[in-house]
């Protein structure tokens, strides 16, 4: 009865929070719609500020699924004179939407194979039970794979393997330090790796669209070369932190053998696995090649790979499996959020907000500006439930700040929320990928905070120092 009462109380509190958020969002939109325009703003710009603030409240208070909030705000834009319906329908379902749509198929096809188990067996064999090698191995492998597949898809692929490790070893939840390291390290890596390529996270595609509107056209190869060092540095910092703080115990010999035996049962790779590897590797190669061959558009390449996976004789995916595994909430959000925030940005509202809030930054060095912005974004991230919404909220603001400190820093500043959307490791209750492993009982919210505090502080300084210099080498 106690648990039922607690659950009912929690449900009631969440309901009250959502109602409060809805009321606040409505008030904000109404106020900025009805007030005379502030100096330097037009009526559409005033209304777009109300839409922007209302969106933040809807996201933070989780008033409705993110897709529902974004779609509703999107179709309301014409009624506030911000854009017209024809423009909205023309832009919705653009390249970002279909790229994510196709990539869910690629991730689903891979998760239907034995490849994740084979990778895990290889890590077990290489580590020889050394817990630090296991922690580093899983963190780095998951980080790299997540750069090309969805964060949550990568997490699901490896979560079952890690659980099998821990159960085979008899490592109990709440007692095993190795279990603690792996269960924290895995979701961190899956979020962290999302920064590596545009395919790694829907938030990247939202940011890429907003950068393009600001005049920065970043190709797949440019994004990869620019961004890959930073998730690898963060993965190293977090792995060191996990091993130093929790000191994981060695993996028993019998559990190593259990994993290797599971792999041996599989035998040699079958045609299904080989087909998946060929298609995925070819897709990634063609994404990179698209930098020089315009016909190899990343969305077109993903669409062709998606189609091939359903072809007779390949059959890596079927439609029912795709419908079950795809994140439709995320898909609808990607389709609508870039339109909503892009229209808000087009009115000049974001530049005005940045001038009002951050005009004092104009006299500071870019390092100090980046450092301040980094810490603000990183810790405000705790309030925002998913990575794509972080990009939607903060990238337009960063573009506005760049107008104050120098437009050559547009991408350097805009990439800060894109990076911290996935790499943050001091939150729990608003981030689904941590909640997924938290439920197994191996670590607490305080464990997560302790593991992530020092890496987060160090990484903020690294980002502030290197983003402008490193991105500048690529012309951004």
Confidence of residue 2 (pLDDT cuts 50, 70, 90): very low
Whole-angstrom CA distances from 82 to 32, 85, 162 are: 13, 10, 49
Whole-angstrom CA distances from 111 to 82, 104, 106 are: 42, 11, 9
Structure confidence at residue 284 (pLDDT): 83
* 342 Cβ neighbours under 8 A, 6+ residues apart: 91, 209, 210, 213
Structure confidence at residue 97 (pLDDT): 77
Structure confidence at residue 6 (pLDDT): 45
Confidence of residue 427 (pLDDT cuts 50, 70, 90): low
Closest CA to 354 of 395, 401, 390: 401
Residue 272's CB is within 10 A of a number of other CB atoms, namely 16
Structure confidence at residue 233 (pLDDT): 96
Confidence of residue 7 (pLDDT cuts 50, 70, 90): very low
**Cα 150 to Cα 328: distance, rounded to the nearest angstrom:** 13
* 192 Cβ neighbours under 8 A, 6+ residues apart: 143, 146, 231, 234, 235, 238, 422, 423, 425
Q: What is the pLDDT of residues 147-184, one digit of tens each?
A: 887 777 778 777 877 777 777 667 778 788 888 999 89
Rounded (10°) angle between helices 328-346 and 66-76:
40
Confidence of residue 229 (pLDDT cuts 50, 70, 90): very high
**Can you read off the two tokens belonging to residue 391?**
């990009």
Q: What is the pLDDT of residues 438-452, one digit of tens each?
A: 777 888 888 888 898
**Over the chain, what is the mean pLDDT?**
81
Q: Classify residue 162 by burial, with Cβ atoms within 10 Å: 0-12, 13-18, 19+.
A: buried
Residue 429 scores a pLDDT above 90: no
Structure confidence at residue 48 (pLDDT): 84
Residue 112's CB is within 10 A of a number of other CB atoms, namely 18
Does 40 or 267 have the greater pLDDT score?
40
Confidence of residue 383 (pLDDT cuts 50, 70, 90): low
Query: Cα 200 to chain center, whole Å?
Result: 7
Q: What is the pLDDT of residues 84-137, one digit of tens each?
A: 888 888 777 667 677 778 877 777 776 667 777 777 777 777 777 788 888 898
Structure confidence at residue 9 (pLDDT): 47
* Domain range summary for the chain, segments of one domain joined by +: 96-325
In the chain, % of residues over pLDDT 70: 89
* Predicted TM-score (pTM) of this structure: 0.75
Structure confidence at residue 385 (pLDDT): 62
């Amino acid at each position: 009865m106690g648990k039922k009462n607690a659950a009912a109380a929690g449900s009631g509190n969440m309901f009250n929070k959502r109602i409060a958020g809805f009321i606040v969002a409505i008030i904000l939109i109404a106020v900025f719609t009805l007030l005379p325009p502030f100096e330097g703003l037009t009526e559409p710009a005033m209304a777009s500020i109300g839409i922007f603030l209302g969106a933040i409240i809807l996201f933070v208070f989780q008033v409705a699924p993110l897709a529902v909030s974004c779609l509703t705000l999107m179709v309301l834009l014409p009624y506030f004179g911000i854009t017209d319906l024809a423009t909205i329908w023309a832009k919705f379902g653009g390249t970002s939407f279909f790229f994510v749509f196709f990539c869910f198929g690629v991730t689903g096809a891979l998760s239907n194979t034995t490849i994740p188990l084979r990778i895990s067996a290889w890590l077990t064999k290489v580590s020889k039970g050394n817990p630090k090698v296991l922690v580093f191995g899983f963190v780095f492998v998951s980080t790299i794979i997540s750069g090309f597949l969805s964060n949550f898809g990568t997490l699901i692929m490896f979560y079952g393997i890690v659980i099998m490790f821990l159960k085979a070893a008899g490592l109990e939840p709440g007692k095993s330090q190795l279990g603690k390291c792996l269960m924290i390290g895995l979701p961190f890596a899956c979020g962290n790796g999302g920064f590596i390529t545009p395919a790694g996270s829907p938030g990247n595609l939202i940011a890429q669209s907003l950068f393009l509107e600001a005049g920065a056209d970043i190709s797949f190869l440019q994004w990869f070369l620019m961004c890959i060092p930073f998730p690898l540095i963060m993965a190293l910092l977090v792995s060191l932190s996990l091993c130093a703080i929790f000191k994981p115990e060695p993996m028993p010999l019998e559990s190593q053998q259990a994993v290797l035996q599971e792999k041996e049962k599989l035998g040699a790779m079958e045609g299904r696995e080989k087909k998946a590897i060929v298609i995925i590797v070819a897709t990634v190669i063609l994404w990179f090649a698209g930098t020089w061959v315009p016909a190899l558009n990343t969305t077109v390449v993903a669409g062709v790979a998606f189609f091939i996976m359903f072809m007779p004789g390949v059959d890596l995916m079927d439609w029912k499996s795709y419908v079950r595994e795809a994140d439709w909430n995320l898909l609808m959000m990607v389709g609508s959020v870039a339109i909503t925030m892009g229209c808000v940005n087009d009115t000049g509202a974001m530049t005005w907000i940045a001038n009002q809030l951050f005009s004092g930054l104009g006299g500071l060095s870019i390092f100090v500006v980046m450092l301040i912005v980094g810490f603000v974004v990183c810790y405000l991230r705790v309030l925002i439930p998913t990575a794509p919404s972080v990009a939607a909220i903060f990238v337009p603001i960063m573009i506005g700040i760049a107008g104050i400190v120098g437009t050559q820093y547009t991408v350097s500043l805009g990439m800060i929320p894109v990076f911290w959307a996935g790499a943050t490791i001091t939150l729990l209750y608003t981030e689904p990928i941590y909640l997924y492993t938290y439920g197994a009982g191996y670590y607490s919210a305080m464990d997560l905070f302790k593991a992530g505090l020092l890496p987060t502080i160090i990484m903020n300084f690294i980002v502030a120092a290197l983003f402008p210099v490193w991105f500048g080498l690529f012309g951004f």
